[in-house]
Structure 1
Amino acid sequence: MADKEATVYVVDLGASMGDCHNGRDESDLDFGMRYVWDKISTTVAASRKTWTLGFVGLNTDETNNTQDEEGLEGYHNISTLQEIGPMTMTELRELHPKVKPCEAYSGDALSAIVVAITMIEEFTKKLKFKRRIILVTNGESPIDDEDDSITDVAEKLNEHNIELVIIGVDFDDPEYGFKEEDKSRAKRQNEETLRKLVEACENGVFGTMQQAVEELSIPRIKPVRPFKAYDGPLTLGDPNKYESAISINVERYFKTKRATPPSATTVVVNPDRGYTQSQAFDDGDVEMGGTEFSNVKHMRKYKVNDPSAPGGKLDVPYEELAKGYLYGRTVVPFSDSDMAITKYETTKSFTIIGFIPFDSYSPFLNMGETGLIAAKKFDEKSEIGLSALIHALHELESYAVARYVQKDGAQVQILLLKPNPGIEDEYECLYDVPLPFAEDVRSYQFPPLDKVLTVSGNVLKEHRLLPNQDLKEAMSDFVDAMDLSGFDVDEDGNPVDYAPIDEVYNPVIHRLNQAIRTRAVHPDGEIGPPPEILLRFSKPPEKLIKKARPDIEALIDAAELKKVPEKAKGRFKEAVKPLSGLDIDAILGQKKRTVISPENAIPEFKQALATAEDDETVEKAVKQMGEIIRKLITNSFADVFYPRAAENLRVLREELIGLDLPLLYNKFLRALKKSLLSGELNGDRREMWFKYIIGGQLGLVTKEESEMSDVTEEDAKAFVKK
């Protein structure tokens, strides 16, 4: 059963919380709510009914709590802004505008804690809950510092097993290394009072908000409970046929599970319903933050040609359809009954089919998530049998290979079973990983890296494609210089692991979760940059790069690396000079191209544009290319030359976009369309327009494709449809 939690946030909303301190450009309330909103949004995202929370405002202008309604003194300016219960997106949006600085300053923090205790007591009763109260304040408002009051509140917290977390804005924390200078006497006294309260609690935490906000960037790993994937016998041989067969009752759990980013859902705004407080409707609609969204529903209709039906099309029910598979150019129908014959029937089983030594297995063959196999609980015979199997595999240095079917009808998996005799961690079990089938293995052959084989069969150890001895030594020194194993050291100067496995987080998952939490709380705010901890291992450390700089320079010299000139952008591109400094065109005796031949139009057109120095030269090349396209269409017998003309048109479009001259292309295409549809190009050429130009997406160049264009997306669509 999932853990039950009841958390109440007590936040100081007094007038002093609206001020900025210690050089921050945000108020104390906004600074503290960064922590609170992150925690609340995490609870909302989990969407667990057993994770409940409430919200109490301290130093509010109004008074709204159970103790004040009963006539008790000392509970003024304390309001219950959110009763304990599951938090939804709608309630989060409703709570957000209520959290703002007020004018009051006389509310008592200890009284607010008592209000939170009462809320938890009434909600959880005697049930098993994880109870927690989180107080956020800057300690500027008066607090009852009598020892009796502190003792009474502490005893109440201990009685109900409630964890008290007090996080103060600009509170001193010697362990974290923060101390506020010029602190007022009242704040110093209130801070000591709250510290005494935490020390009197059996389960209490006292900290400063600076540390809490800083730790928000550290991703929180979602705890996952063990999930039993299999419960049944692990067999060696067939117990139904042979008495010597072994059968051990085992349970299989997932040891590792692949984490995935949260998936998105396609929704549409429902205009038929106004604002509503409901969270879900019977038809699948959901309401989020005052805007109701509906799930997108897909509807498919299947039609066949039927002259007797209205419109020549007949609707066919989905139940009457059959899947078809291409066999050459023929479609072969395959009904559900045929599919049932091809389905491989399986039954639940877990049986060992062989053994292999440790050294004959390569880790790259792992195909999935790791599982853990343990003996069935309270089955002494199975525990002894599995222990004997584990120790036998360990002593023989062998793995077991097993055939695994999780349940009836499931796919067959081949698992590799690794023994864990419990010598180091005192837990005997088998670890398993899926193995590939023969069809999953792809064997590719590559040429050797240390020699070159010639066509005649000679073996060359020295070749321009092979590294020489200097390059090998430079690469070896570079690899040693970039070694991370001894880069990071601890306080005593001993080398430690630079990238511990528990500190390497998936940036895709945690960055997306951070963005979702931010957008949930602040629908119109900006999403901040990713935390540094997610980017820490995305690049080598600067200190290591600086230390290895001589080895990097030596490797560059040994490999004779030269920087490739960047591709020029803009109207006219400067001719790229070879690194050798030689003029290739002069050596080959080539001149700048002025005439484009229809037989080799595309390469010659590109060459003409590459050497163009002004707009006039480009316009001449475009004019020639346009004439070639027109002649291809005019001289085409049916659609023989249409693909060739379309390819020339595509190159013309791409090159003019790259030169920031889309107006030339749009002008030519408008004239070409008029000629095609009017019959000027030797007859009816509408197929060229509809199939090759529109179908090939060779329409007008829009502003989205080039900033120099004067055609909008709507104009381009209208030009195609007109």
Structure 2
Amino acid sequence: MTHGDFDEAKRCVEMIIQRKIFSESKDEIALIVFGSENTNNTLSSDNEYQNIDIVSNLKVANFDVLSKLQKVKKSDTAADFIDAIVVALDLLNDQTKNQKFGAKRVVLLSNLSGECSESRLKVIAKGMKNAGMELTVLCPFQIDSEGVTEKLTQNQQKAATILSEMLDVVGGDAYPFSQALHALMTYEKKKIRPTPWNASLEIGHELSIPISSYLKITELKPKPWKLCVSNRREAAVRADTTLHLNDAAETEVEKNDTNPGYRYGATLVPFTIEDRDVMEYAKGGRGYQVVGFTAGENVGRYYHMGDKTSYVVGRSGDESAEAALSAFVHALQEKKMVAIVRYAFSERSYPRMGVLRPLIKENYECLVFIQLPFMEDVRRFVFAPLDVDKSNVPTGQQLSAIDDLIAVMDLTTATTDEEKSCSPSFHWRGDLWTSSKKLGILC
């Protein structure tokens, strides 16, 4: 493999691993190098499966795998990519026993310039298909169903034909390095499976509707920095805390023999478990409890708070719950009302106030929950009028300039496409994209 082809293949693998790390993917990957000066695989014998090195076994992508990849150097040793595929299949079969995976895939990166044997092609392809394994090929040129359209060496033409036949049987894709690198440069967001929070919606003392709540929007917070050590070890860093008396011997004391205390001036006041149990607030049950109704216009957007928005639907599989919630949603919609509710995530959670707004779409209907402030949290600020100081009063020319600025910034008619201009659904978040690029540089 030439330096250019090797560098492109290595860069593709780096970007794949970086995307897995940044998106916190649970996918497990293994790294196998063929054409290596080392031989490290379970199938190797005197004359078979030589120069194939399992650099990293199957595991969730992490910086250790990236570090091992950085140490891989180009060599002039030849190896059969068919043998490498067989070693990869053996590794997948051995290290995924008694485990469930949504898909198994072998990604082959090579310039396909070495010699290869097609004697076992049909057996290997049939075995991959029966095992539900897929194949993806990344190489310097484009492979289609009829082979390749560019001038290649004899070995590359043979390899392209073999892989084309194999892809037809197994199922998979083939891409040139240039196309793969372009696709891997885009930011991959973390994939989250929606998990319902099952509770009940209580309306008075007699009516309780089983519901499921799904997060629609929540604040994405960056991961906190954790304690680490300079030499990366597999064992996690664990903090041990011990308590000692303030005496000459620094006598160690068991935590069960201590009570927390708080200073009140110069006095240290103990706060025992019994005191906490007596003074602790009785939180009540979990779920939503309707405390009243009001017109939707009375709950302005300036009352919205919290870090998430949830969609509340009837419990899946419970037809009576779905029918009851549907009637409640339509009643609120017809009356232009909203429900003010008490919300508690669990038995131990402190209650919060929120609003349930009806939302009826063509394909679904639900209640939208948004947290509201308590009365003590509302701040009503009174500001002096701006026209007291004449220097703050804008002139007619200034008002006209601002009107023109607002008019030219209107993007609703910027294009003739049916999609919204600058819709966040079709644009990457710049801060996340930049963070992922920084991660790539650090790696």
The TM-score, its normalising length taken from structure 2, stands at: 0.82
The answer (yes or no) to whether the contact 1:416–1:433 under 8 Å persists in 2 is yes
The answer (yes or no) to whether the contact 2:129–2:169 under 8 Å persists in 1 is no
For residues 42-191 of structure 1, the aligned pairs below 5 Å read 42-43=19-20, 51-69=27-45, 75-86=49-60, 89-90=63-64, 92-94=66-68, 96-97=70-71, 99-105=72-78, 107-125=79-97, 127-129=99-101, 130-144=103-117, 150-168=121-139, 170-172=140-142, 184=153, 186-187=155-156, 190-191=159-160
- The whole-number CA distance in structure 2 between the counterparts of 1:136 and 1:470 is 64
Q: Secondary structure at the match of 2:348?
A: coil
- The whole-number CA distance in structure 1 between the counterparts of 2:143 and 2:426 is 25
Residue in 2 aligned with 1:406?
Answer: 345
Alignment size in residue pairs: 434
Residue in 1 aligned with 2:378?
Answer: 441
| Structure 2 residue 165 is matched with structure 1 residue 227 | no
Pairing partner for 2:221 from 260, 267, 280: 260
Provide closer, same or farther for how the CA distance between residues 315 and 160 of structure 1 changes in structure 2, counting only shifts above 3 A: closer
What is the deviation of 1:355? Answer: 1.9
- The whole-number CA distance in structure 1 between the counterparts of 2:229 and 2:113 is 48
Q: Secondary structure at the match of 1:464?
A: helix
Provide closer, same or farther for how the CA distance between residues 443 and 100 of structure 1 changes in structure 2, counting only shifts above 3 A: same
- The whole-number CA distance in structure 2 between the counterparts of 1:518 and 1:508 is 15
Pairing partner for 2:400 from 473, 479, 483: 473
Residue in 2 aligned with 1:534?
Answer: none
Provide closer, same or farther for how the CA distance between residues 358 and 193 of structure 1 changes in structure 2, counting only shifts above 3 A: farther
Pairing partner for 1:417 from 356, 364, 370: 356
Unaligned runs of 5+ in 1: 1-15, 21-27, 240-245, 270-274, 281-285, 287-293, 304-308, 455-462, 522-722
For residues 4-403 of structure 1, the aligned pairs below 5 Å read 16-17=1-2, 19-20=3-4, 28-43=5-20, 51-69=27-45, 75-86=49-60, 89-90=63-64, 92-94=66-68, 96-97=70-71, 99-105=72-78, 107-125=79-97, 127-129=99-101, 130-144=103-117, 150-168=121-139, 170-172=140-142, 184=153, 186-187=155-156, 190-202=159-171, 204-229=172-197, 231-239=198-206, 246-267=207-228, 279-280=234-235, 286=236, 319=258, 322-324=261-263, 333=269, 335-336=271-272, 340-349=277-286, 350-368=288-306, 369-403=308-342
Unaligned runs of 5+ in 2: none
**CA deviation map 1:65-94 (0-9, x unaligned):** 44443x886x44433333334556545534
The answer (yes or no) to whether the contact 1:486–1:497 under 8 Å persists in 2 is no
The answer (yes or no) to whether the contact 1:267–1:296 under 8 Å persists in 2 is no
Residue in 2 aligned with 1:691?
Answer: none
Provide closer, same or farther for how the CA distance between residues 315 and 439 of structure 1 changes in structure 2, counting only shifts above 3 A: farther
The answer (yes or no) to whether the contact 2:6–2:74 under 8 Å persists in 1 is yes
Q: Secondary structure at the match of 2:224?
A: coil
The TM-score, its normalising length taken from structure 1, stands at: 0.53
Higher strand share: 2
The answer (yes or no) to whether the contact 1:47–1:88 under 8 Å persists in 2 is no
The answer (yes or no) to whether the contact 2:291–2:341 under 8 Å persists in 1 is yes
- The whole-number CA distance in structure 2 between the counterparts of 1:166 and 1:315 is 62
The answer (yes or no) to whether the contact 1:133–1:165 under 8 Å persists in 2 is yes
What is the deviation of 1:434? Answer: 0.9
- The whole-number CA distance in structure 2 between the counterparts of 1:268 and 1:295 is 11
AA of the residue aligned to 1:135: L
Provide closer, same or farther for how the CA distance between residues 34 and 440 of structure 1 changes in structure 2, counting only shifts above 3 A: farther
AA of the residue aligned to 2:368: Y
- The whole-number CA distance in structure 1 between the counterparts of 2:248 and 2:106 is 70
Q: Secondary structure at the match of 1:134?
A: strand
- The whole-number CA distance in structure 2 between the counterparts of 1:324 and 1:258 is 37
- The whole-number CA distance in structure 2 between the counterparts of 1:315 and 1:124 is 47
- The whole-number CA distance in structure 2 between the counterparts of 1:261 and 1:509 is 10
- The whole-number CA distance in structure 1 between the counterparts of 2:411 and 2:240 is 52
What is the deviation of 1:435? Answer: 1.0
For residues 574-593 of structure 1, the aligned pairs below 5 Å read none
Q: Based on CA coordinates, which of the two structures has the bigger radius of gyration? A: 1
Q: Secondary structure at the match of 2:339?
A: strand
**CA deviation map 1:11-44 (0-9, x unaligned):** xxxxx23x23xxxxxxx22222222123334546
What is the deviation of 1:191? Answer: 3.7
The answer (yes or no) to whether the contact 1:402–1:415 under 8 Å persists in 2 is yes
The answer (yes or no) to whether the contact 1:267–1:295 under 8 Å persists in 2 is no
- The whole-number CA distance in structure 1 between the counterparts of 2:149 and 2:263 is 75
Q: Secondary structure at the match of 1:255?
A: strand
Provide closer, same or farther for how the CA distance between residues 315 and 136 of structure 1 changes in structure 2, counting only shifts above 3 A: closer
The answer (yes or no) to whether the contact 2:105–2:136 under 8 Å persists in 1 is yes
AA of the residue aligned to 1:473: S
Cα RMSD, aligned residues only:
3.8
What is the deviation of 1:183? Answer: 5.3
What is the deviation of 1:134? Answer: 0.7
Provide closer, same or farther for how the CA distance between residues 87 and 483 of structure 1 changes in structure 2, counting only shifts above 3 A: closer
AA of the residue aligned to 1:199: D
Identity %: 23
AA of the residue aligned to 2:53: S
What is the deviation of 1:376? Answer: 2.5
- The whole-number CA distance in structure 1 between the counterparts of 2:242 and 2:125 is 62
- The whole-number CA distance in structure 2 between the counterparts of 1:476 and 1:346 is 52
AA of the residue aligned to 2:100: K
